[in-house]
Amino acid sequence: MLIKNILTQSPMSQDVEIYGWVRTKREMKNLVFVEVNDGSCFAGIQATFNEPDETLANEFASLTTGASVKITGKLVASPASGQAVEVAAVSLAVLGKAPAETDGDIPAYPLQKKRHSLEFLREIAHLRARTNTFGAVARLRSSMAFAIHRFFKERDFQYLHTPIITAGDCEGAGAMFQVTTLSAKEAGQWAKDFFGKQTFLTVSGQLEAETYAMALSRVYTFGPTFRAENSNTARHLAEFWMVEPEAAFADLKDNMDLAEEFLKYIIKSALEECADELAFFDTHVEKGIIESLGQTANAKFTHVTYTDAVRELEKNKSLFEFEPRWGCDLQSEHEKFLTEKIAGGPVIVTDYPKEIKAFYMKLNDDNKTVRAMDVLVPRLGEIIGGSQREDDYEKLCNRIKEAGMSPKDYSWYLDLRRYGTAPHAGFGLGFERLIQYISGMANIRDVIPYPRAAGQAGL
């Protein structure tokens, strides 16, 4: 039985078997306490050996932090504070040792200390899930992924699998990883390549999601996306997971409402389903995070146009490293200022200048701005980016050309505007940014099991 189930479901005096990894051992005269964790929940369980049998002496010797064990005994009320139950243990088997000292070729188990730096743990990513922090992050990720599917299922969005390998550049950003089987000598001879043309890892499933939204009305994708941006920041990865809903017969207002409802739903799920994990993050990672998430879950998000946001930032320009100016992208410091200082909560910024947004966004009547929306949150800045899509054939053709691309390459995408076009809108949520926001973890590399970022692709 998993420790989670023993702690929540087993009746007292029941005989139990526990399996897990030793966190700590304390030996006293005639008494040995072992704390075992199996990762099924935040808490571990204590096994107490009272006057242990001498035949167990060997086993106790190899019962060190990190060793895997099987312990049997009876579930009893615990006299110790901080735990309701413990196991009055009768048998012990060490299944796999984890030496505390270097032993021949095997270095000592690296997780000896109670607290290691996150930087150190990044170097042993294959073992870091055994720590409180990374165990909590992993369970939070799993729970949030499930909540995301539930949210969309409850609203009749169909889950769509969009391709990972693509020939198009969705964001027009040019920061893509190439996929090729050509040898170095054949480089550039795309006709000879595996697909007969140049291909890449996708930066977003959006364009393909649009084709299905224009048939099934409501769809969403949830998959890995790849960006070869060389930005070495605490919020960028080269491989990250994105959730992208797309709805037909929907405009920017519907899109903003969906994004707000979505974020609040996910945060409430975290507060309800990951209470132990959040209590840990609140104490050890970001003080007050539970209260601030509670506020976000109940707040009305502030709406502001890009133009008004820039006006507000200009009034405070002495505070910024990058001067805010109409036409320039908002920097992370600007986004944080808008959420933390002006709104005191999440902000949805809309109607950005067309020059700084992707070609597919619907042009406003002013011919200068597009129906874009970015959802910004305190501590992090942008967590969601989306828009109403251009549904007019001519206008979309022009935007493709203006972006230096060829309408021929997007003929399938343009077909959606040729045949049965309709207003439609969608957005993308960076899953790791969401986990950062909910956990308070400062670096995005610590909220994905195996981070891929510029110069970093080890296990």
Chain positions contacting ligand 4AD, by CB under 6 A: 170-171, 204, 206, 227, 229, 236-237, 240, 242, 244, 382-386, 426-428, 430, 432-433
The listed partner (Mg ion, ligand 4AD, none) that binds 73, CB under 5 to 8 Å by sort, is none
Cα 235 from chain centroid?
11
Q: Residue 398, SS3? A: helix
Q: In what order do the strands lie in the sheet with 381-388?
A: 158-159, 218-226, 239-248, 424-430, 381-388, 369-377, 347-353, 302-305
Question: How far does CA 338 lie from the centroid of its chain?
Answer: 23
- Residue 384 touches which member of ligand 4AD, Mg ion, none, C-beta under 5-8 Å by kind: ligand 4AD
Q: CB-based burial of residue 239 (10 Å sphere; 0-12 exposed, 13-18 middle, 19+ buried)?
A: middle
- Judged by beta carbon distances under 5 to 8 A according to partner kind, the member of ligand 4AD, Mg ion, none in contact with residue 430 is ligand 4AD
Nearer to ligand 4AD, 38 or 374 (CB): 374
The residue (of 345 and 386) whose beta carbon lies closer to ligand 4AD is 386
Cβ–Cβ < 8 Å for 269, 275: no
Token pair 């993050």: residue? 281
Written as six digits, the tokens of 346 are 């999440």
Three state DSSP letters for 7-54 = HHHCCCCCEEEEEEEEEEEEEECCEEEEEEECCCCCCCEEEEEECCCH
How far from the centroid of its chain's Cα atoms is residue 24's Cα? 30
Closest CA to 209 of 248, 257, 266: 248
Query: Taking CB within 5 to 8 Å according to partner kind, which of Mg ion, ligand 4AD, none is near residue 141?
Result: none
In the three-class reduction of DSSP (H, G, I as helix; E, B as strand; rest coil), residue 300 is classed as coil
In angstroms, the CA 215 to CA 250 distance is 14
Q: Which of ligand 4AD, Mg ion, none is residue 227 near (CB under 5 to 8 Å by kind)?
A: ligand 4AD
Tell me whether residue 139 or residue 227 sits nearer to ligand 4AD (CB atom): 227
The listed partner (ligand 4AD, Mg ion, none) that binds 427, CB under 5 to 8 Å by sort, is: ligand 4AD
Using the minimum distance from each CB to Mg ion, give the nearer residue, 67 or 363: 363
- The binder of 426, among ligand 4AD, Mg ion, none, by C-beta within 5 to 8 A per type, is ligand 4AD
Contact 247, 421 (CB under 8 A): no
| Cβ-based nearer residue to ligand 4AD, 52 or 428 | 428
Taking the complex as a whole, how short is the minimal distance between the CB of residue 241 and ligand 4AD, in angstroms? Answer: 9
Could you tell which of ligand 4AD, Mg ion, none binds residue 240, using a CB distance below 5 to 8 A set by kind?
ligand 4AD
CB-facing half-sphere around the CA of 450: CA atoms within 13 A: 6
Nearer to Mg ion, 70 or 336 (CB): 336
Nearest distance, CB of residue 209 and ligand 4AD, angstroms:
7
Least distance (Å) between residue 206 CB and ligand 4AD? 4
DSSP 446: G
Which residue's beta carbon is nearest to the bound Mg ion? 385
Q: For 121-171, give the secondary structure using H, E and C.
A: HHHCCCCHHHCHHHHHHHHHHHHHHHHHHHHHHHCCCEECCCCCEECCCCC
Minimum CB–partner distance for residue 428 and ligand 4AD (Å): 3
In which residue are the tokens 């230096």 written? 404
Q: Residue 177 Cβ, how far from ligand 4AD at the closest point, in Å?
A: 12
Q: Least Å distance between CB 394 and ligand 4AD?
A: 22
- Closest CB 220 distance from Mg ion, rounded Å: 18
Closer residue to ligand 4AD, CB minimum distance, 40 or 158: 158
Closest to Mg ion by CB, 128 vs 236, is 236
Q: Closest separation between CB of residue 35 and ligand 4AD, Å?
A: 36
Smallest gap, in angstroms, from Cβ of residue 344 to Mg ion?
23
Taking the complex as a whole, the smallest distance from the CB of residue 315 to Mg ion amounts, in Å, to 25
Q: Which is nearer to ligand 4AD, 128 or 236 (CB)?
A: 236
Nearer to ligand 4AD, 35 or 246 (CB): 246
Q: Is residue 245 involved in binding Mg ion (CB under 5 A)?
A: no
User: Could you say which residues in the range 366-395 bind Mg ion, by CB under 5 A?
Assistant: 385
Task: Say how far apart CA 84 and CA 77 lie, in whole Å.
Answer: 6
Which residues in this chain contact Mg ion in the complex, by CB under 5 A?
A: 385
